[in-house]
């Protein structure tokens, strides 16, 4: 499995930094965001290191597992019916802080319009 020494989320996968796990498979880990921006805010990550979602573009099976896990998280969190949002920040303009692929799963409240730079 690809890992990166200085990567925060690789350390979480390795168990070196504690996390509040919601769901886990052999290839995917989902845990609560440490600074939640919605009533439900879970991060879904591949256990194998990739910097951004863009780098996974050719990896259909891995992407399918990642998004299937987002759906499973929504089911476990009880927001499947009320609705939720999946977001992945890619690069500087999106404000990506952690360069290990992660999907934000947000819900448990009305989220309003998709956040953008205007309005
Ligand atoms: P992004 O800005 O898309 O790169 O999102 C990174 C997310 O990681 C932010 O929402 C942070 O609150 C979250 N985060 C940072 N450190 C931790 C941690 N140790 N455990 C859980 N979430 C974290
Ligand atoms: Zn990593």
- Domain boundaries defined on the chain: 8-107
Positions marked catalytic: 102
Please give the model's pTM, rounded to 2 decimal places.
Answer: 0.96
Residue 118 has pLDDT above 90, yes or no: no
Distance (Å) from CA 63 to ligand 1 centroid:
20
Q: Is the CB of 35 under 6 A from ligand 1?
A: yes
Q: Given this model, what pLDDT does residue 2 score?
A: 81
CB 72 within 8 A of CB 65: no
Reduced to 3 states, what is the DSSP secondary structure of residue 66?
Answer: helix
Burial grade of 101 (CB within 10 A; 0-12, 13-18, 19 or more): buried
Residue 119 has pLDDT above 70, yes or no: no
Q: How many CA atoms lie within 13 A of 86 on its CB side?
A: 17
Q: Is the CB of 34 under 6 A from ligand 1?
A: yes
Q: Is the CB of 98 under 6 A from ligand 1?
A: yes
Architecture category of domain 8-107 in CATH: 2-Layer Sandwich (3.30)
Distance (Å) from CA 34 to ligand 1 centroid:
6
Alpha helix positions (H), the chain = 8-13, 60-77
């Amino acid at each position: 499995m690809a890992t990166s020494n200085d990567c925060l989320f690789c350390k979480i996968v390795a168990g070196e930094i504690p996390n509040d796990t919601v769901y886990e498979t052999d290839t995917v880990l989902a845990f609560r965001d440490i600074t939640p921006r919605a009533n439900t805010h879970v991060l879904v990550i591949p256990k194998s290191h990739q910097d951004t979602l863009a780098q996974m573009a050719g990896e259909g099976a891995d992407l399918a597992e990642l998004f299937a896990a987002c759906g499973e998280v929504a089911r476990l969190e009880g927001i499947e019916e009320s609705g939720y949002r999946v977001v992945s920040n890619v690069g500087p303009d999106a404000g990506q802080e952690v360069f290990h692929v992660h999907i934000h799963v947000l819900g448990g409240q009305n989220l309003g319009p998709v956040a953008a730079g205007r309005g």
